[in-house]
Amino acid sequence: MGRTLTDYLTELRMEKAKMLLSRTDLPVADIPEYIGINSREYFSALFKKRVGQSPAAFRQSREMSVR
């Protein structure tokens, strides 16, 4: 597959986080627990690194595109 198990799991977690941010009203602070990350700060930093924006900004951009 050309990547580590950790990279694969992180990718799956970020996809799940994006789905939860886009399709639910769960508080951003609760998303890490749903995807198996123990730290809110780590989740925010990882999400921003992988997706290019913070979880809150991602949610807001999705809400704006739906309107």
Give the model confidence (pLDDT) of 16-67 as tens digits. 999 999 999 999 999 999 999 999 999 999 999 999 999 999 999 987 776 5
CATH number reported for the structural domain that contains residue 20 in this entry: 1.10.10.60
pLDDT at 65: 73
Question: How many domains, the chain?
Answer: 1
pLDDT at 1: 66
pLDDT at 39: 96
pLDDT at 26: 96
Q: Residue 29 is part of which domain span?
A: 5-66
The C-alpha angle 37, 41, 42, rounded to 5 degrees, equals: 50
Q: Give the residue carrying structure tokens 């994006």.
A: 18
